[in-house]
Amino acid sequence: MILSDALRAALLAEARAAHPRECCGLLEGTGKAVTALHPARNLADAPDRFEIDPALQFRLRREGRNIVGCYHSHPDGAAEPSPRDAQAASQAGFVWLIVGGDALGAFVWDGARFERLELGPERAPT
């Protein structure tokens, strides 16, 4: 999964700004690259949970955006899926970016479990 330095910096900044709550949003892109972040209002009542406003996803899909995944932060935790994340995951092939501190983890839900993705920087064509 390719994530540009600019998008990586924006995601980390959003997580820091939301602390101690979780930030969350949707990922636009292709099968191999994230091309845009779409921050969402976190509807969860508890600070250690996230719930993306479904109106955002409906609007983005109406606009023809290719939503390939979601992101959220674990403000004082690891950049790894939690058991709660696994319970909430439902769409096979959906990418999850998770911020934990200054670390960023990328995962894809295969329908039964999360598989780690290599998270590489943007590369110039050769």
Each residue's pLDDT tens digit, 89-110: 999 999 999 999 999 999 999 9
The structure's pTM equals 0.93
Which residues span the domain enclosing 50?
5-117
Residue 11 placed within a domain:
yes
Cα 18 to Cα 95: distance, rounded to the nearest angstrom: 21
Q: What is the CATH number of the domain that holds 17?
A: 3.40.140.10
* Domain tally, the chain: 1
**Confidence (pLDDT) at 126:** 45
- Asked whether the CA dihedral 90, 91, 92, 93 is positive or negative, the reply is negative
Overall average pLDDT of the 114-120 stretch: 94
Q: Does 62 map to a domain?
A: yes
Residue 126 counted as domain residue? no
